[in-house]
């Protein structure tokens, strides 16, 4: 590679710092998220309410992603929206620790997602403006990798917190230990806000047409029809893409029914000695099961860290559409696998869980950065905030019916509800893949290192 190409391929400081912000934020989020299913269960609710919580949270965020994207285009002030959004989430999220009933999680999650809705589109526009198309896939992939690195750290911090708290005589119940752990999530959240305020500067990125005055009004008619077809296909995919909390619920349900973790703990003397200090048999059984979820979740995100940048970079070479289709195909296959998780024998159940999550991470590596890079390819610079707003709004609004319907199917059909719900998600992913192939055109190629279009 020539020196000029190496310089062009180097990720700007803006990309790196925004990656650090996402790392700290996701560490805070994932100290709570993988434990929500067991927390809801301990508060006396089940899978249907879990679907409502996650669906309402994501739909709330999505409406604001559109508004903040359009407004940031109009004002040409991206950083202030990012700071406001990250601040709201960081200070509200830990309030999960003090809810008395499962329904009270809904407003906490809603306000947390309000913060996400305000920050996401302007942040993506900031990132997109800092690189040329030749390395956009790599830049967005790096950002997602840093986000996933935080999602590795978060569950491990939660695991450490729960272990120390459950060993303490002052924390006699699992519910109390969960509350304290959720409260500790304030620390990485505050670090994220400080890094953003101190180290991200607006206006430092190269913009090819910076002298152009941004439009004062936003209209769908101002956007390319190919882009609109793209986001509508994404919306269809989202209708089958329910919250990942259901994956954790499925794992918890399967391992609890088989008792595999309790048998494993007994078979390994060091593990048995550790959990033997947790009091009665009931608490020990709960502790073993609940500590498995953060471990699985951390492993899942560790694989995503490894694959996000190289897979997203692949889209710079083979095309965005091809890689998205590959990712959606992987998603469909994994959902079929989760649908039959309860049929796997006890001896193979935990290995199957880790294999499924490892393969599932390939879906994220192939699609998360690539979908955003494709948005950047299809719209002009001055409309990217609004375009990202539409992208995030449609994919997020679809999360409400997706999660609620998934939860209803899961809970209403008895023992086979989980299987039917996951097969439904796989079917919609396959349908969206076919429509993407048929309806959406690839953007015109651009030379590596070329300035942002």
Nearest alpha-carbon partner for 373 in 139, 200, 164, 169: 139
State pLDDT tens for residues 6-33.
434 577 888 888 999 999 999 999 898 8
Residue ranges of domains in the chain: 13-198+223-439
Question: Within 13 Å, how many C-alpha atoms sit on residue 94's CB side?
Answer: 17
Q: Looking at the predicted structure, is the pLDDT value of residue 171 above 80?
A: no
Question: Tens digits of per-residue pLDDT, 70-106?
Answer: 676 676 777 888 899 899 999 999 999 998 887 788 7
Average pLDDT over residues 323-348: 89
Predicted confidence (pLDDT) at residue 297 exceeds the cutoff of 70: yes
Centre a 10 Å sphere on the Cβ of residue 415 and count the other Cβ atoms it contains. Answer: 8
Across 170-197, average pLDDT: 87
pLDDT of residue 6: 42
| Closest to 343 measured CA to CA, from 415, 449, 268, 273 | 415
Greater model confidence, 401 or 268: 401
φ, ψ (nearest 5 deg) of residue 255: -75, -30
* Mean pLDDT of the region 267-293: 57
Extract the tokens encoding 352: 């199957």
Q: Which of 174, 352, 177 is nearest to 258 (CA)?
A: 352
Residue 188 has pLDDT above 70, yes or no: yes
**Distance of alpha carbon 323 from alpha carbon 363, whole angstroms:** 9
Please choose, from the candidates 122, 118, 66, 63, the residue with its C-alpha nearest in 3D space to the C-alpha of residue 397.
63
Contacts of 3 (CB under 8 A, 6+ apart): none
168-207 burial code (b ≥16 CB/10 A, e <16): eeebeebeebbbbbbbbbbebbbbbbebbeeebeeeebeb
3-state SS, residue 402: helix
* C-beta of residue 31 within 8 angstroms of C-beta of residue 181: yes
DSSP assignment, residue 135? G
Is residue 294 a contact partner of residue 29, using CB atoms and an 8 Å limit?
A: no
Smallest CA-to-CA distance from 110 within 155, 159, 59 is with: 59
Helix (H, G, I), strand (E, B) or coil at 99: coil
Region of poorest pLDDT, from 142-146, 206-210, 256-260, 377-381: 206-210
Check pLDDT > 80 for residue 3: no
The CATH number that domain 13-198+223-439 falls under is 1.20.1250.20
Closest CA to 48 of 245, 202, 190, 198: 245
In this model, does residue 453 exceed pLDDT 70? Answer: no
383 to each of 12, 218, 235, 292, 400, how far by Cα in Å? 22, 8, 20, 44, 27
What H or E segment, with its residue span, contains residue 373? helix 346-378
Average confidence (pLDDT) over 229-241 = 91
**Whole-number pLDDT of residue 274:** 54
SS3 sequence, 26-92?
HHHHHCCHHHHHHHHHHCCCCHHHHHHHHHHHHHHHHHHHHHHHHHHHHHCCCHHHHHHHHHHHHHH
Q: Please report which confidence band the pLDDT of residue 2 belongs to, taking 50, 70 and 90 as the band edges.
A: very low
pTM for this one? 0.69
Residues 26 and 146: their CA atoms lie apart, in Å, by: 9
- List C-alpha distances in Å: 356 to 40, 248, 289, 333, 408: 24, 12, 18, 9, 24
pLDDT in tens, 369-408: 788 888 888 877 667 777 777 887 787 778 778 888 888 8
Ranges 202-216, 227-241, 253-267, 415-429: which has the least confidence: 202-216
Is it the case that residue 431 has pLDDT exceeding 90?
yes
pLDDT digits 0-9 by tens, 117-137: 788 778 887 887 777 767 777
């Amino acid at each position: 590679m020539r020196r000029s190409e190496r310089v062009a391929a180097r990720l700007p400081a803006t990309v790196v710092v925004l990656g650090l912000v996402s790392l700290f934020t996701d560490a805070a989020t994932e100290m709570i998220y993988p434990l929500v299913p067991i927390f809801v269960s301990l508060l006396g609710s089940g899978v249907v309410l879990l679907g409502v919580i996650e669906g309402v949270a994501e739909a709330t965020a999505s409406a604001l992603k559109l508004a903040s994207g359009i407004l940031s285009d109009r004002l040409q002030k991206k950083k202030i929206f990012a700071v406001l959004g990250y601040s709201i989430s960081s200070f509200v999220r830990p309030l999960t620790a003090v809810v008395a009933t499962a329904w009270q999680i809904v407003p906490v999650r809603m306000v947390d997602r309000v913060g996400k809705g305000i920050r996401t589109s302007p942040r993506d526009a900031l990132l997109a403006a800092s690189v040329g198309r030749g390395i956009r896939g790599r830049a967005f992939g790096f950002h997602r990798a840093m986000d996933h690195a935080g999602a590795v750290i978060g569950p491990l911090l939660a695991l450490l917190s729960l272990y120390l708290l459950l060993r303490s005589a002052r924390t006699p119940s699992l519910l109390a230990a969960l509350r304290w752990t959720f409260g500790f999530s304030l620390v990485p959240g505050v670090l994220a806000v400080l890094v953003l305020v101190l180290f991200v500067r607006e206006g430092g990125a190269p913009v090819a047409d910076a002298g152009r005055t941004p439009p004062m009004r936003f209209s769908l008619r101002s956007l390319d029809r190919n882009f609109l077809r793209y986001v509508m296909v994404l919306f269809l995919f989202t209708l089958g893409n329910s919250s990942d909390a259901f994956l954790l619920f499925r794992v918890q349900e399967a391992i609890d029914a088989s008792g595999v973790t309790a048998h494993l703990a007994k078979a390994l003397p060091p593990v048995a000695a550790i959990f033997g200090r947790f009091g009665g048999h009931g608490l020990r059984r709960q502790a073993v099961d609940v500590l498995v979820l953060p471990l699985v979740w951390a492993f899942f995100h560790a694989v995503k860290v490894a694959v996000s940048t190289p897979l997203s970079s692949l889209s710079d070479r083979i095309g965005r559409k091809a890689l998205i289709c590959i990712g959606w195909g992987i998603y469909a296959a994994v959902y079929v696998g989760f649908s039959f998780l309860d049929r796997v024998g006890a001896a193979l159940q935990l290995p199957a869980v880790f294999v499924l999550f490892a393969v599932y991470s390939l879906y994220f590596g192939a699609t998360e950065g690539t979908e955003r890079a494709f948005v950047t390819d299809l719209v002009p610079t001055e409309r990217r905030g609004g375009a990202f707003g539409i992208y995030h709004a449609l994919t997020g609004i679809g999360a409400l019916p997706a999660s609620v319907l998934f939860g209803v199917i899961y809970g209403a059909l008895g023992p086979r509800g989980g299987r039917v719900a996951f097969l439904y998600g796989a079917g919609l992913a396959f349908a969206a893949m076919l429509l993407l192939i048929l309806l959406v055109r690839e953007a015109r190629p651009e030379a590596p290192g070329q300035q942002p279009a």
